[in-house]
């Protein structure tokens, strides 16, 4: 029996790319060349795991008109998910225009409160706890109580579940960096990068199987008592790889199969074409970018003492 992965995303994103002129969001009029794609790290990792033939289920809060579009996209892609419907819009939309290309991106909505999040987690707690590996990440509101997630993490670890904390986005700002493991290093005169890495190391020592964080130049992974460093893919691929989500998919495979961490990550990067959507540059990226990135090696920077 193949081991399962539970992916928890607290607030998904949505991207719509356009090649043509016609555009209207409220009336849902799009060009025939448009592509609607649900995003967010957990969603992208789900796509990667799908490409790697892994069993998984995505647990996701979605709401409003954008939430409806996200759900439609996941159904179209065949991504298995459980969702908690939120009455408010999951995200707030903005539009950027550049010539004939139009991109709609979304910013975190502050309307998913702690009560909604708590109910969401406990609705699916038994299912989540039954899975072998759990990835926790996504956007959370500023007022969110970090205890909800930290309590969940601790409970899962006690049950023998391997927990991954994706601390790259607003999850890091609003939850991860509020923990005592982070605050301890907040005012000791060391660089922010070293402080963040030390905080991640402490989470790892507390039982989190993998902690991922990123800087402008590198992404870091704290795994198996080592600090792994690899190039920040964003500078090469913009949003195509979702800030190293291919790396996370490979790391999950390593946790499940107990195979070489570096080999699993490199394989996931080489297979990263499955992450790309039918964006205007999608076909180019599928042909060129994987060949470039598959030669990028992860390297161990130091062993955690």
- pLDDT tens for 152-201 read 888 888 988 888 877 665 555 555 555 544 444 444 445 666 767 777 78
In this predicted structure, what is the pLDDT of residue 290? Answer: 41
Residue 45 or residue 278, greater confidence: 45
Domains, in order of start, for the chain: 4-303 (3.40.1190.20)
**pLDDT classification of 231: cutoffs 50, 70, 90:** low
Tokens representing 239? 């949003």
Confidence bin at 241 (pLDDT 50/70/90): very low
* Residues contacting 76, CB < 8 A, separation 6+: none
- Angle at which helix 114-123 crosses helix 146-158, to 10 degrees, equals 20
**pLDDT category of residue 52 using cuts at 50, 70 and 90:** low
Residue 167 in contact with residue 138, Cβ under 8 Å? no
pLDDT above 70 covers what percent of the chain?
Answer: 41
Q: What is the pLDDT confidence band of residue 14, given thresholds at 50, 70 and 90?
A: low
Closest CA to 200 of 185, 217, 189: 185
End-to-end CA distance of the chain: 36
Q: Is the pTM of this model over 0.85?
A: no
Contact 176, 149 (CB under 8 A): no
- Eight-class DSSP state of 3: P
Locate all alpha helices (DSSP H) within 165-260, ordered by sequence: 170-174, 180-183, 192-205, 234-237, 245-257
Rounded mean pLDDT of 196-224? 78
Most confident of 192-201, 229-238, 239-248: 192-201
User: Is the pLDDT higher at 134 or at 34?
Assistant: 134
More confident position, 10 or 118: 118
Of the listed ranges 28-32, 207-211, 216-220, the least confidently predicted one is 28-32
Share of the chain above pLDDT 90, in %: 0
pLDDT at residue 107, as a whole number: 56
**Tens-place pLDDT, residues 72-87:** 778 877 888 888 877 7
Q: Residue 207's pLDDT is what?
A: 87
Helical (H) or strand (E) element with 85: strand 81-86
Cα–Cα distance measured from residue 58 to residue 245, given in angstroms and rounded to the nearest whole number: 15
Kind and range of the H or E element at 59? strand 55-63
pLDDT at 235: 43
Mean pLDDT score, 212-232:
75
């Amino acid at each position: 029996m193949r081991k399962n992965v539970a992916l928890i995303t607290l607030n998904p994103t949505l991207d719509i790319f356009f090649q043509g002129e016609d555009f209207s969001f409220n009336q849902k009029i799009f060009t025939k060349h448009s592509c609607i794609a649900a995003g967010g790290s957990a969603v992208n990792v789900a796509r990667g795991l799908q490409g790697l033939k892994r069993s998984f289920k995505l647990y996701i809060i979605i709401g409003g008109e954008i939430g409806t579009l996200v759900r439609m996209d996941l159904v179209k892609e065949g991504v298995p998910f459980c969702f908690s419907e939120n009455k408010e819009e999951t995200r707030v939309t903005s539009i950027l225009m550049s010539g004939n290309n139009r991109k709609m991106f979304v910013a975190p909505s502050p309307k998913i409160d702690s009560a909604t999040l708590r109910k969401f987690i406990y609705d699916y707690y038994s299912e989540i706890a039954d899975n072998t590996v759990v990835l926790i990440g996504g956007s959370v509101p500023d007022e969110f109580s970090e205890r909800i997630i930290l309590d969940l993490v601790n409970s899962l670890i006690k049950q023998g579940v391997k927990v991954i904390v994706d601390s790259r986005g607003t999850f890091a700002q609003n939850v991860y960096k509020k923990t005592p493991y982070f605050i301890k290093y907040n005012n000791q005169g060391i660089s922010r990068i070293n402080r963040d890495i030390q905080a991640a190391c402490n989470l790892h020592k507390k039982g989190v199987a993998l902690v991922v964080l990123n800087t402008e130049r590198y992404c870091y992974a704290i795994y198996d008592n080592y600090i792994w460093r690899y190039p920040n893919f964003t500078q090469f691929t913009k949003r195509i790889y979702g800030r190293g989500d291919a790396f996370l998919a490979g790391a999950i495979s390593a946790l499940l199969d107990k195979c070489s961490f570096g080999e699993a990550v490199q394989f996931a990067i080489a297979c990263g074409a499955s992450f790309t959507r039918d964006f205007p540059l999608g076909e180019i990226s599928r042909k060129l970018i994987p060949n470039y990135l598959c030669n990028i090696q992860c390297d161990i920077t130091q062993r955690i003492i």
